[in-house]
Structure 1
């Protein structure tokens, strides 16, 4: 064990694997010094960095900015990023928004709390120090941390809103204006610790327009499609360095009716979103998918849920290969501990299924670009948890599984060295 930080030390095989990667390939430089980063780009269905494919073995910790505000909670951020680095993880997805709530970044339209913005500066600087890149999400479809409902409330209070419907976020001109101002402020922010504008910082892997956008008042999908196109082009007009994704869950609508059978239920086609059409927009660089068999398919047995997961992942990788010609990132996947008959071994099997499918896709140079569990916490953060959250080092079998995936993907990236590298994996 590592004294004083509560982390389980990886098995000796992975320790030697990490050292080997560093000494021969330079991937896990966080063991020794702050790494030099280049922007990750897209080449067809692949992410690339420095002339080589870049694979995402990452995780979600939405709470990093929030916990970086107060001095007493900042060590949680350091501990999480350090732990991710030791597992060989490459990307963390986190919130770059907090609208009108406790420790709000945006107090009201166009008014920001510098103390909270400095916390996000700190997160980005700390991530770079640990060799971790960030996917920064810009707004929530859900109510947590403000989300689209807060923008609608602001517009209503100032008398400019056309409707009190939360979905007016996508169509109301005053709300779109407020969101664009937020985006511009975020992209052009100069980090107080590094001196680098966000739009010029390769620590940021990508921007995500919205967490799980849905527009149920317009099941045709035209409202959301128009909003995505407008906002994606606006982001690119300011920041041409970074990748951009939408943040959709991956459901198919009438626009892709041939894929209805892949949806978890008939309800999934009426949410105003379509995975293929939303991801096809030219300014969108890669597609995102979420995977929640417990929430979406509550009546299925565990075996049936795993069958759904396999078909769901395979279908979206096919879309990336054959239709979109873009990488497909499984940006959230999770298994609830609060379902009937849950067994801890189920979570291991689920993680393994997802990782194996993405590993096989990477070996075949397919569009499956990686996967990111929802969500990781550090010790003593129960108030930030949910039924999907884990502290990885508390579960040695999953910790080993995660580090092995990092090692396997590093081996693919480095080609001829892969046999020796794989032999050193845990």
Structure 2
């Protein structure tokens, strides 16, 4: 039977339009972006989180590993309502005195099987507790090797470590930021990233790309275009291209997970909103990140918190508001994935007074909660950082290579400077109350 053109049009109208086919449903359990907000299984994804960069070290089947402690720490966090962990999935051998050792890799392709297994174990343990992971794969700072280690391997020198008095700030930042334009260094980096993102877990047998425990791959911890205005501006094209290219590589390897930058915001972007916008506008970047460090940025004095706290807190409030506005402009979610404050009197011991820290935590957590309630872009927070039952092993609280009682304060800082111990009852109460409030939002 031959149909007329009129009959064909009528028949076509009765069928679903091919061009308007329903978008594929995301796999169950994967965090996605919907309408500029994080989403999980059709509902808003909101979280209370922390940083546990050392998780893979605890999970490693090696002398420095401690699976029992890893499980205890995860149980403590879960009991507090913490469900999102930002962890380190990379680390490069470095001659820096305050760098981690062992690390995931050296200049060759013989990556550390124990640490990779430790990451497998961590993700499997997190899955059992319904937690999500943000895994960062490089570091602007040299405490884990990071970008300076890559530059050192390819002979882009002279190499020097952060804090070297012979190379005062901003020389370190300008040096580290040379990484983005160094093709030999990036070839080494891309090989590792490809290997990691394509990895199959030795614990679950599941490819990482199919594991919903991972929320996001993150390009680096606090990538910056540079330190000085002159170098940072000239290096900006290389910085922005590196973000696009690295995120694009990860998306080609794994199109099921989110990708984020690890940026601090304008304070890590030459103070420029345009730098932040350009870094987060590409479609391969799924959400904005924000870090807040009032002590390190000179907003609240390390030696006189009481008289400088009020003005510093207001700057932090303004900083959060500024970046919420930027996220709205981009119509992308926002996570406040690092913030911290020192203890009263710059002490390091567990249980010592945290008057201003507790106030600061409550302020930051309340700002995030208010934006969540208002339907804003803020999805969650990750305080820096979880020390748990870890303790400084040296009398001066400085980390030494071989120490195994890992804490959230990295080797470049005194152990206990910013981290939250399991004995910090008042701070734990603030975090627990916030987590309950976030959960109550549904």
What is the TM-score normalised by the length of structure 2? 0.76
In structure 2, C-alpha distance between the alignment counterparts of 1:210 and 1:218, rounded to whole Å? 17
In structure 2, C-alpha distance between the alignment counterparts of 1:98 and 1:178, rounded to whole Å? 13
The answer on 1:177 being equivalent to 2:209 is no
Q: Structure 2 matches for 1:213-362, cutoff 5 A?
A: 213-216=223-226, 217-220=231-234, 221-251=236-266, 268-269=270-271, 274-296=275-297, 297-299=299-301, 301-321=308-328, 323-337=329-343, 344-362=354-372
Name the structure where helix makes up a greater proportion of residues. 1
Distance 1:411 1:117, change over 3 A: same
Q: CA deviation at 1:394?
A: 1.7
Q: Structure 2 matches for 1:34-53, cutoff 5 A?
A: 38-53=29-44
What is the TM-score normalised by the length of structure 1? 0.79
1:91 maps to which residue?
84
In structure 2, C-alpha distance between the alignment counterparts of 1:102 and 1:343, rounded to whole Å? 32
Larger radius of gyration: 2
Q: CA deviation at 1:162?
A: 9.1
Q: Structure 2 matches for 1:67-86, cutoff 5 A?
A: 67-69=58-60, 70=62, 73-86=66-79
Per-residue CA shift, 1:179-208, capped at 9, x if unaligned? 111111001111011011111110011111
In structure 2, C-alpha distance between the alignment counterparts of 1:319 and 1:293, rounded to whole Å? 20
Deviates more, 1:299-308 or 1:241-250: 299-308
In structure 1, C-alpha distance between the alignment counterparts of 2:354 and 2:429, rounded to whole Å? 15
Q: CA deviation at 1:108?
A: 2.3
In structure 2, C-alpha distance between the alignment counterparts of 1:191 and 1:396, rounded to whole Å? 36
User: 3-state SS of the aligned residue for 2:316?
Assistant: helix
In structure 2, C-alpha distance between the alignment counterparts of 1:209 and 1:185, rounded to whole Å? 15
Deviates more, 1:95-104 or 1:162-171: 162-171
> What is the RMSD of the two structures over their aligned residues, measured on CA atoms?
2.4
Per-residue CA shift, 1:91-112, capped at 9, x if unaligned? 0001001212522211323221
The gaps in structure 2 that reach 5 residues or longer are: 1-26, 94-99, 160-174, 302-306, 393-398, 400-406, 408-414
Distance 1:273 1:81, change over 3 A: farther
Q: CA deviation at 1:411?
A: 1.6
Residues 162, 172 of structure 1: 8 Å contact kept: no
Distance 1:304 1:343, change over 3 A: farther
1:190 maps to which residue?
200
Q: Structure 2 matches for 1:3-22, cutoff 5 A?
A: none
Q: Structure 2 matches for 1:109-124, cutoff 5 A?
A: 109-124=108-123
In structure 1, C-alpha distance between the alignment counterparts of 2:118 and 2:289, rounded to whole Å? 27
2:218 maps to which residue?
208
Q: CA deviation at 1:329?
A: 0.4
Q: CA deviation at 1:339?
A: 5.9
In structure 1, C-alpha distance between the alignment counterparts of 2:188 and 2:216, rounded to whole Å? 21
Per-residue CA shift, 1:232-266, capped at 9, x if unaligned? 11111111111110011111699xxxxxxxxxxxx
Deviates more, 1:333-342 or 1:146-155: 333-342
1:5 maps to which residue?
none
Q: CA deviation at 1:360?
A: 0.8
User: 3-state SS of the aligned residue for 1:219?
Assistant: helix
Residues 291, 309 of structure 1: 8 Å contact kept: yes
Residues 260, 289 of structure 2: 8 Å contact kept: yes
Q: CA deviation at 1:131?
A: 1.5
1:11 maps to which residue?
none
Q: CA deviation at 1:409?
A: 1.4
In structure 2, C-alpha distance between the alignment counterparts of 1:298 and 1:409, rounded to whole Å? 28
Q: CA deviation at 1:397?
A: 2.5
Residues 76, 378 of structure 1: 8 Å contact kept: no
1 or 2 for the larger relative contact order (CA 8 Å, sep ≥6)?
1
In structure 2, C-alpha distance between the alignment counterparts of 1:130 and 1:40, rounded to whole Å? 16
The count of corresponding residues between Structure 1 and Structure 2 is 358
Q: CA deviation at 1:298?
A: 4.2
Distance 1:102 1:343, change over 3 A: closer
The gaps in structure 1 that reach 5 residues or longer are: 1-35, 255-267, 414-426
Q: CA deviation at 1:338?
A: 6.8
